[in-house]
Amino acid sequence: MDLRGKAGLVAIAVCTGIWLIRTGSDMDLPPQPATTEAFARAAVAAEPDAGIPLPPSDPVRIRIPAIRVDAPVTRLGLRAGGSLEAPPAGNRNLAGWYRGGPAPGAKGASIIAGHVDTAEGPAVFYNLGTLKKGTRIEITRKDGRTAAFAVDAVEVFDNNAFPDRKVYGATVRPELRVITCGGGFDARTGYQANVVAFAHLTGEA
């Protein structure tokens, strides 16, 4: 999968923050990742061992018990301009998988995106920024198998300085990226950043 050059569009596609515009309060900004949950900067740590890659199979559900996420997963493609489609905003408890990339559990970096809020209020990944390293994420797949992941880091990236290769680049092991909007908010342009949880496959649930 190669989404280089489309990172800013991903942020716009996933959410617009209409709820914040309606409430008019900065107190309603979603929680942001703690700096302690980012990847280590001073030294390059060895990557933890990953589970054995699974054969490709579409995801049907994502569970993150630590933040009470238990949501169905729909398929997402790219819009004509190259931006990632967003899950339908009418269902706040819905995530989307980029079907042009690896399936969760298969070799490579699988992309799951979802709204942080909609016009009705907080949405499926509102609390994504509160995740801690080691947090468990489960993806139930169409083949009936459940891929289990452990969070390696949670970071927030400004839209105009999004590390495309770090997030979307090819990986040699089965990994997962869970993405939503975050950072500051501007009523004219929406959220100014993306929150990304990086995880690796640990096995099957």
Give backbone dihedrals phi and psi of 77, rounded to 5 degrees, phi first.
Answer: -120, -160
CA distance 66 to 32: 15
- Show me where the domains of the chain are located: 7-38+48-204
pLDDT score, position 12: 38
pTM, two decimal places: 0.89
CA distance 189 to 82: 19
pLDDT score, position 104: 98
Taking the mean position of all CA atoms in its chain, how far away is CA 140?
16
CA distance 176 to 200: 6
pLDDT score, position 60: 98
Per-residue pLDDT of the chain (205 residues; tens, 9 = 90+): 334 344 443 443 445 555 665 565 555 788 999 999 999 865 455 677 888 999 999 999 999 999 999 999 999 988 777 777 888 888 899 999 999 999 999 999 999 999 998 888 899 999 999 999 999 999 999 999 999 999 999 999 998 888 888 888 889 999 999 999 888 888 777 888 889 999 999 999 9
pLDDT score, position 4: 39
Contacts of 92 (CB under 8 A, 6+ apart): 115, 117, 118, 120, 121, 122, 123, 124
pLDDT score, position 86: 82
Class of domain 7-38+48-204: mainly beta
pLDDT score, position 5: 41
pLDDT score, position 152: 95
pLDDT score, position 22: 56
